[in-house]
Amino acid sequence: MTTSNSLVYLIALPLLGATILLLAGRRADKWGHILGTLMSASSFAVGLYQLSQMLGRTNEARPVTQKLFEWISVGTFNVDAGLLLDQLSICFVLLITGVGTLIHIYSISYMSHDHDRRRFFAYLNLFIAAMLLLVLGNSYLNLYVGWEGVGLASYLLIGFWNHKPAYATASKKAFVMNRIGDMGLSFAIMIAFATIGTVSFEGIKEHAHHTSTGALTAIGIMLLVAATGKSAQFPLQAWLGDAMAGPTPVSALIHAATMVTAGVYLITRSNFIFDAAPTAQLLVVIVGAITLLFGALIGTAKDDIKKALAASTMSQIGYMILGAGLGPVGYAFAIMHLLTHGFFKAGMFLGAGSVMHGMNDEVNMRKYGALRKFMPITFVTFGLGYLAILGVPPFAGFYSKDMIIETAFNAGGIKGIILGTVTLLGAGITAFYMTRVMILTFTGKSRWDDEAHPHESPLLMWLPMAILAIGSVSSGFLLSRGDALVNWLAPLFEHHGEHKELLSPIVVSGLALAMVAIGVAIAFLKYSRQEVAAVAPEDVSVFTKIARQDLMQDRFNEAVFMRPGQQLTQVLVKTDEAVIDGAVRGVGQLAMGSGSILRGLQSGFVRSYAALILVGASLLIAAIWVVTK
Amino acid sequence: MNSLTLLMFLPIIGSVAVAATPKAKETLTKQVALATTLIVAAATIAIAVGFERDNVDLQFVEKYSWIPSFGINFAVGIDGLALVLILMSTILAPIVVLAGWNEAHGGRWSVKVFYILILVLETMMIGVFAATDVFLFYVIFEAMLIPVYFLIGGYGSGERSAAAVKFLIYSLFGGLLMLASIIALYVMSGAQGGHTFDLAALSHLEMSSTTQNFLFLGFFIAFAIKAPLWPLHTWLPDAAQSATPGTSVLLLGVLDKVGTFGMIRYCLTLFPDASKTFTPMILVLAVISIVYGAFLAIGQRDLKRLIAFTSISHFGFITMGIFAMTSQGHSGATLYMFNHGFSTAALFLVGGWMISRRGSSTIADFGGLQRVTPVMAWSFFLAGMSSLALPGMSSFVSEFLVLVGTFTRYPVHSVIATFGIVLAALYILIPVQKALHGPTTPGNENLSDLNLREKIAIAPVIAIIIALGFYPSPLLKVINPASAHVIAQMGFTDPAPTNGDK
Amino acid sequence: MDAANYLYLSALLFTIGAVGVVVRRNAIVVFMCIELMLNAANLAFVTFSRINGDLNGQVIAFFTMVVAACEVVVGLAIIVTIYRSRRSASVDDASLLKR
């Protein structure tokens, strides 16, 4: 395998930026944002250089590795700090650093009034470094470092305004739920080491075929648990909505384009495990299918523009997970949807940020309306992203989402029909809630608060949005032209025979477009023809109420885990004091009690002491006499 | 070469110098104490450089006749395990002195006495890890209680006397059980080739399994009290709550390690068969400690007690790693001892600064410190991240090694213990949120951030935590041979990959 | 005369002394009774010396006398001091240990 000495710079540059910005403190306030952006951009440049090098090599020689140093080595457990850049990770590297750099640029302007802009850029750089480590690590343990590293960066960024208690709670919730997922990754690594004896991708791939299906299934399920935590999939999805507490560029970068897609990366990267573990693969598909409907349904009821987009992200990642769970035929489409989604969703989040910027940080879409005239660029870029997510040809989502729907239908048998129906239904609901977002925000009458003065955002903000919009338009076409991405990734996956087609691509596209049209039409009828209330109506159906509460996910978690956990903690604290420490104090009191009884003998009267001595001596003599007799 | 003895007596010499300083010049007293601890740290590093890391025998061995009529020797020597722990102790000492510059004020006795006690304690800390004569070990093991008793009872806060007495009686109780076992070993050695207290000689004693079990328990209970293992832990929160932060660092960071160190050096070496007999029970206690300590930490309202309970959880990990009897578990446990010293030091020192500034140790009294005192808040946050074993921090390496090492032999225990990492996130993030985030609580607006001295004290701790998180090899290379040696002596080999029994 | 008679006398004297210590309240009398017990012991030692035909018992008797003399000095001093401060020589009044 080719080795390279320059892979480390991908990670080192943003990491250096984060370190400098954090250590320099307020001294760096003036130039911190510039340094942060430069570091991210130079990492992107290194990524482009690596891509150019990779293009110049044959398929087999494309992956490059770099061993940095021996990290942990005990007995047979040997893990090097090593990096691996192959066809899969280069996609992520370019997405992370490319979108990341655009969002750095956007943030220069977006955060310009914030006292702590430097700290924000430090966290962003830290995130870029951790995310790159996640996709570049050559073993599960290296990936784990990046995996928790992005969790930390996400925690710091969600809680960037942690002086507001709700935001601090949101960041804590995200970290803890992510840790539950991380636990799954720990289990996967432990099982892998105990059964296969190694934790590197290469080693496990090599040994996977003579490892029992049971072990591989266990590893696969644990990896899925990890993926559900990081990618906000059912049942660990509840943190994502609250994570919108972070500044909007963070939502665009971390909670839309990159970090939340790490689960898809993990499953695709572990293709050699899932291909050999059909049960785990089936579970992946089920999780994806549930989440894509779950997220879409939440999206229909949210009035907070960021939370509506977050629900949409959850749903779209559900598509990717579902695609990745379909095996070798689905991996490339999952990655393609991931990349196109990175463009259009990041673009839409930045658009939402732009709207908030012009509307005094108002997030309630019911207080928007008619912004099309005041924010033309935002409207256009957001609109292009909207067309992309709907899957209207020839925008990006048309290529990537239709591929997943098609692959789902072709999965075979009942499974294929169910999955296909679910993905089609999801597409329809997506069209409904995204149209709702568009209508509420940009069209109709204005429902603003009195102090709102909407205005278009400055160049540094709309330029990244424009670039992402171009990506939303073109990326799908470019990536699927001549099956470019599929062929690019093909050497990484094991191939199976051609699948029989249940429905031809044209039929699938037709069905999908029909669903989208229905969704759009319903949204138009409901929100464009009728007056939209500035305050959310209360007399809504039970289903709407449930959807507004995120399908009861928080209530469930609180009732099943949080409150019993708190009660258990309180009981244990009391038990510790009363029973365990009580037993210890009991021993002490026993000693003191017996002492106070014996103290009665110490009367202070000399004559009673003398009498006791006499009695004692007599007894002693008597005893000796008895014994020696 | 008698470098170890010299190292042991350096702090004593320093304490004489401290005693000689004039009472009025308290700063001079502190400077002398700091200089002494720095010299000792440098000397230890020099010894570590001269240590042959692939040699599994004891090194720097010295032996002087002490009480010949009982065959007692002043015998010292170190292997990788002892070296790592001595290194940790002597590096922590100057940090503690520097961090707790004003701790001795408001004590029952003078500042001078405080530093004399600290330095005498340092001598014993080195001695207890270096001793290779069981009697010498016992004497130092018990003698260490005296300075700590006075440090808690004389310079602590709150119910300091009660806490000091509780600590003393708890420890004495365990120590006396151990003494009984030691005397029994001595008596038996007389029947098998001459009375001796030499560890190596005693480890070859022949004894019935019943005898071995009882003697093992004598040692183990003493160590389980020291390394607080559930349910013998209740002295620790009280002691940590009352002691000064510096004392707590030495107490939890170093003294408690004598317990886990003793489990390896004495329990496993002297009673290999009994160790195997009791392993299932000990592993269960260790797992209970991990989960129980974590739950209790979540439920604490007092910052110092919270940190104490996190340590109970961490000691559960160490004990589990030791008795998993795999090279990963064992090396991980030893590394954990080292790392825990620094991560607890960071938590206690920064927590101590927060408490002394606010004048309260109740977590709810803090709030919004991130805005008021950013450097202090960051230090506490990083210390907390180290405590919850975030990858990139040193504790992650050790915790993961323990878990993975335990998993290969005892998967169920390891799985339950892994739930501890979720609880760890809670017990760190809850105080972080309450103390550092949110609006600034009234009364905290004017708290001062860390001064230069405090920054100098905390910087090396955090640097060590992060550096060893990314590059633990230097320590692992010292620890691995020693761990492998113990595992091999016990007759264990690492389980081979099962391939899922295919 | 049979040496055992001396031992009977010694036992009698010792018993008288012991009863006196327990029964009497006056510190001086208690003190004299202790002396009586010591001298009973001395008598027994000397008798044993005679029976065994060596000097060990007599030597110990001398020791006892010296110890008794010292004891008298210290004991009387204590009694006098107590009398001065408490205006009483009753041992029951000096029950300060209790508190």
The shortest C-alpha distance from A34 to chain B (Å) reads 23
Residues 6+ apart with CB under 8 A from C47: C3, C6, C7, C10, C57
**Three-state DSSP class for A65?**
strand
- pLDDT more than 70, % of chain B: 99
Distance (Å, whole) CA C91 – CA C87? 12
Q: What's the half-sphere exposure (Cβ side, CA atoms, 13 Å) at A558?
A: 4
Distance (Å, whole) CA B401 – CA A75? 11
Over the range A107-131, which residues count as b (16 or more CB within 10 Å of their CB) and which as e?
Answer: bbbbbeeeebbbbbbbbbbbbbbbb
B261 pLDDT higher than 90: yes
Q: What's the half-sphere exposure (Cβ side, CA atoms, 13 Å) at A95?
A: 32
**Domain residue ranges of chain B, discontinuous segments joined by +:** 1-270, 272-494
Phi first, then psi, for residue A369 (nearest 5°) are: 105, 135
Q: Are residues A75 and B327, on separate chains, in Cβ contact within 8 Å?
A: yes
pLDDT confidence bin for B123, thresholds 50/70/90: very high
- Give the pLDDT mean for C59-65: 93
Distance (Å, whole) CA B209 – CA B211? 5
Residue A572 is predicted with a pLDDT of: 85
Work out whether the CA dihedral C76, C70, A604, A617 comes out positive or negative.
negative
Mean pLDDT by runs of 10 across the 629 residues of chain A is 83 92 86 90 92 86 87 88 90 92 90 87 92 92 92 91 87 90 92 89 87 89 92 86 86 87 92 89 91 88 87 91 87 90 89 86 80 85 89 84 86 84 90 88 79 81 88 85 82 69 79 88 81 74 76 78 84 84 85 85 80 91 90
For B68-87, the pLDDT digits (tens) are: 888 888 889 888 889 999 99
Residue A100 is predicted with a pLDDT of: 92
Token representation of residue B329: 């578990």
* C97 neighbourhood in chain A, CB within 8 Å: 602, 604
Residue C10 is predicted with a pLDDT of: 94
Phi first, then psi, for residue A96 (nearest 5°) are: -65, -50
Residue C73 is predicted with a pLDDT of: 93
Residue C39 is predicted with a pLDDT of: 93
**Beta carbons of A471 and A343 less than 8 angstroms apart:** yes
- C95 and A CB contact within 8 Å: yes
Residue A265 is predicted with a pLDDT of: 93
Distance (Å, whole) CA B229 – CA B215? 19
Chains C and B lie in contact, requiring 3 or more CB pairs less than 8 Å apart: no
C-alpha torsion angle, residues B146, B147, B148, B150 (rounded to 10)? 90
The shortest C-alpha distance from A314 to chain B (Å) reads 23
- Give the pLDDT mean for B199-214: 85
Phi first, then psi, for residue B498 (nearest 5°) are: -90, -15
Q: Are residues B328 and A148, on separate chains, in Cβ contact within 8 Å?
A: no
| Cα C51 off chain centre by | 24
- Give the pLDDT mean for B457-484: 91
Residue B50 is predicted with a pLDDT of: 87
C99 pLDDT higher than 60: no
Residue C1 is predicted with a pLDDT of: 66
Pick among C19, C21, C30 to test the A interface (most A CBs inside 10 A): C21
**Three-state DSSP class for B133?**
strand
The mean pLDDT of chain B is: 88
Kindly identify which residue of chain A lies nearest to residue B169, measuring between CA atoms.
Answer: A588
Q: Are residues A163 and B401, on separate chains, in Cβ contact within 8 Å?
A: no
* B455 neighbourhood in chain A, CB within 8 Å: none
Q: Are residues A74 and B476, on separate chains, in Cβ contact within 8 Å?
A: yes
Phi first, then psi, for residue A111 (nearest 5°) are: -100, 10
**Three-state DSSP class for A197?**
coil
Residue A499 is predicted with a pLDDT of: 59
DSSP secondary structure string, A157-177?
Answer: HHGGGTTSHHHHHHHHHHHHH
Pick among C23, C28, C98, C99 to test the A interface (most A CBs inside 10 A): C98
ipTM confidence score: 0.90
Nearest one of B386, B264, B266 to B314, comparing CA atoms: B386
**Beta carbons of A270 and A192 less than 8 angstroms apart:** no
Amino acid identity of A150? Answer: V
Amino acid identity of A344? Answer: F
Q: Are residues B473 and A145, on separate chains, in Cβ contact within 8 Å?
A: no
C53 pLDDT higher than 80: yes
Number of A/B CB contacts below 8 angstroms equals 169
B462 pLDDT higher than 90: yes
**Beta carbons of A320 and A264 less than 8 angstroms apart:** yes
Kindly identify which residue of chain B lies nearest to residue A151, measuring between CA atoms.
Answer: B390
Chains with ≥3 CB–CB distances under 8 Å to A: B, C
* B411 neighbourhood in chain A, CB within 8 Å: 190, 194
Q: Are residues A186 and B403, on separate chains, in Cβ contact within 8 Å?
A: yes
Number of A/C CB contacts below 8 angstroms equals 31
Chains A and C lie in contact, requiring 3 or more CB pairs less than 8 Å apart: yes
* C25 neighbourhood in chain A, CB within 8 Å: 607
Q: Which of B300, B368, B502 sits opposite A163 (nearest CB)?
A: B368
Chains with ≥3 CB–CB distances under 8 Å to C: A
Distance (Å, whole) CA B390 – CA A73? 19
Q: Which of C21, C25, C98 sits opposite A604 (nearest CB)?
A: C98
Residue A6 is predicted with a pLDDT of: 84
Nearest one of B331, B327, B283 to B494, comparing CA atoms: B327
Q: Which of A603, A604, A607 sits opposite C22 (nearest CB)?
A: A607
- Give the pLDDT mean for B214-220: 92
